[in-house]
Amino acid sequence: MSSWITTVDHKRVGILYGVTAFAFFLLGGLEALLIRLQLASPGAHVVSAEAYNALFTMHGTTMVFLAIMPFNAAFFNYMVPLLIGARDVAFPRLNALSYWIFVFGGIFLNASFLAGTPPDVGWFGYANLTSKQFSPSHSVDFWLLSLQVLGVSSMISAINFIVTILNMRAPGMTLMRMPVFVWMTLVVQFLIVLAFPPITVGLIFLLFDRYFGAHFFDVAAGGDLHLWQHLFWIFGHPEVYILILPAFGIVSEVLPTFARKPLFGAPVVIYSGVLIGFFGFGVWSHHMFAAGMGPVADAAFSIATMLIAIPTGVKIFNWLATLWGGTIRTTTALHFAVGLVGLFTIGGLSGIMHASPPVDLQQTDSYFVVAHLHYVLIGGSLFGLFAGAYYWWPKITGRLLDERLGKVQFWVLFAGFNTAFFPQHYLGAIGMPRRIYTYAADAGFAFWNLVSTVGAFGIALGILLFMGNAWRSLRAGPRAPADPWDGRTLEWRTASPPPPHDFDTIPPVFSRDTFWREKYGRPREPSPGPSSGDHIHLPAPSHWPVLVGLGLAVMAVGALTHLAIVIAGTLVTVVGAFRLALEHHRTPAHEHQVGSLDLDHRKVAIWVFLGSECFFFGTLIATYLAYKGKSVVGPEPHQILDIPLTTISTFDLLMSSLLMVLALAAVQRDDRRQARLWLFGTAFFGLIFLGFQAYEFTHFVREGLTLQRNLFGSTFFVLTGLHGAHVTIGVVWLLCLWLLDLRGNLRVTDAIKVEVAGLYWHFVDIVWIAIFTLVYLIP
């Protein structure tokens, strides 16, 4: 048991993700069944109105963040290194850390039931329902804090997989030779890195409104409730593709295998997936057609929504062309893959209807939208995940699932799903609003709601059949060979289940579908490498990821209870993070690699992280500009901003970047005395800047400008305060490097550590230039 808790093996982490996600999926499914029981007949009293609000909020939040996303992460973790011919992910310990943060975040969210205050404002938490005035209990606090914790997990994982895919591919595996599932994984990770910062900023604003009396969503103080909708849906619509693109990738692997022919137009399928990710950032406001944005915005987002249907349609035609003329083997995995194609097409067609603002105004907040969402996320994501489960189960477990029982499960699930959700199109069309907990007998909703409830229990039966099939397989299923499906990609080239080191020798890649060609075309060519896994270095297990995840959860609990618990959780998190970071000094070989991009993993990771930080600070600055001049009370900003003083502190911070350059140069030439001098000097200049900032904050408070005073105070203190927090992290980072140098652990071979810290430090300085210009120099 302890080996599973401390594991950093990508395969075990993948299994942990899958089992945990399935547990949360069952919990979300139970919430859905209670919702359907309440709506099965008019005037029912299965649950109260308050409990119903909590159920649909927790059902949506659980299915999106705790079930489908971690289900996808299970396949990312287990399969991606095998598919690209790698022995592990780029950062195994961070991989384990992302899992444990996810676990504790999910437990914290569901602890709201035990506390008697589950979230009850809908999974997208529209302002001002989330304000203290309308949600005075801790229900919204549980929701926003857990989403922040889960966001940290997702960001760590995304950076890890971007580095893994870009920098750890087997020799010969160019980008266009990567399997489509790996491509879709890569697109999803970039979506996470770029889409999560806006929702993070929105949650920070909400936290400051609820805990510290800020005014970001306070209309009386000049705030705009639409700000939350924009921030949420800038994240929320890419999130739809975060959920569905992995399923598209799975289908693109399953169909060619069981049609026994290459994927038709594979490069076009890849390009269409990239385009879906790109266009996904330009359609968010089609969720806001009812918000009164005006004809120009409505037209722009309507056109963008229609355009995004093109690359999606391309995929569907490519999948059909792959099946056309193939030697079809009707396995359970193929059933689920073809089921996705059909059901997602229905969901996509109803989505295109919503691209038209007049049609959307008719259908918004009705059960038609509920039907559309579920056809996309169950007919799409869930059916795709089941296709992947049946396809890769023998690789993961070394045993086969019962194909006959699997097909029964497919047809039960298929029938139950359509029975549950197709009638909801009609219910929405005749006017049934969503989120109502009951309805009158003469409303005309009763019959189809009863049918929908019967279908929901059909879905539950399908899930139970899968659980029974999985149990039978694990107990006494037939042993699976290495390549039970006559597969095309590299994961079938190794044993089932794979050894700890994945491959005895890293397989060379000569083309797309390289393993297929190796078996039936080009003879296998020898490649250099060890003949067995006995002396291959693998990273050691670590218990520090568990401690860091626990520390974050304790901090969240403290935010609901007492400051002392927040401090205790922070100490646990910081100590765990330091110990986790310093572990690699004992076994450095695994994580210090130069990969396919001819760059160290850590350098690729920091560039990805800084790209995400650009969106984070860009969102903060955009909010400041949107709210500029909307303060209605308090002192005028230009009267109290001390521009000469801030100019000095700005010059100080810019000079620290010069010292950082000198520090890196000193480390690269192994001049330890100069390295220590410049590292400490950079940190000292950072501390001087923070001192100036602390003085400025106290000056503002004396002049009557506080976080609570007006909208300028809210935006100013949060924007500059979060930048100051980044400077603080940089100072601590630099002092750690200085201490490493004092202990003789920072030599020429460790220059990359200073280079990575330097990139972060220069970025923080550049951000301050933008803030100083926009806040202080422009009236």
Q: Which residues are catalytic?
A: 59, 88, 123, 153-154, 237, 239, 241, 252, 286-287, 312, 315, 434
Contact 746, 740 (CB under 8 A): yes
d(CA 133, CA 142): 16
Question: Vertex 628, ends 199 and 287: CA angle to 5°?
Answer: 35
DSSP at 776 = I
d(CA 463, CA 469): 10
Q: Based on the number of CB atoms within 10 Å of its own CB, is 449 exposed (0-12), middle (13-18) or buried (19 or more)?
A: buried
d(CA 136, CA 124): 18
Q: Which two tokens stand for residue 212?
A: 């510290």
Q: Which two tokens stand for residue 350?
A: 């109803």
Per-residue three-class SS string for 179-229: CHHHHHHHHHHHHHHHHHHHHHHHHHHHHHHHHHCCCCCCHHHCCCCHHHH
In Å, what is the CA distance from 85 to each residue of 49, 385, 493? 53, 22, 10
Contact 248, 315 (CB under 8 A): yes
Contact 60, 512 (CB under 8 A): no
Q: Based on the number of CB atoms within 10 Å of its own CB, is 404 exposed (0-12), middle (13-18) or buried (19 or more)?
A: exposed
Cβ partners under 8 Å of residue 163, min gap 6: 90, 91, 595, 601, 604, 605, 608
Amino acid residing at 606: I
Report the DSSP beta bridge partners of residue 433.
Answer: 366
Question: Which candidate, 371, 366, 351, 385, places its Cα nearest to that of 276?
Answer: 351
DSSP string, 296-349: HHHHHHHHHHHHHHHHHHHHHHHHHHHHTT------HHHHHHHHHHHHHHHHHH
Query: How many other C-beta atoms lie within 10 A of the C-beta of residue 19?
Result: 12
Whether a cis peptide bond, with omega within 30° of 0, leads into 128 is: yes
Query: How many other C-beta atoms lie within 10 A of the C-beta of residue 310?
Result: 12
Report the DSSP beta bridge partners of residue 366.
Answer: 433
In Å, what is the CA distance from 295 to each residue of 280, 292, 324, 359? 21, 9, 44, 14
Q: Which two tokens stand for residue 33?
A: 């069944």
Q: Based on the number of CB atoms within 10 Å of its own CB, is 605 exposed (0-12), middle (13-18) or buried (19 or more)?
A: buried
Question: Which candidate, 604, 601, 583, places its Cα nearest to that of 592?
Answer: 601
d(CA 112, CA 93): 30
DSSP string, 79-147: HHHHHTT-SS-S-HHHHHHHHHHHHHHHHHHHHHHHHT----STTTT-TTTTSTTT--SSHHHHHHHHH
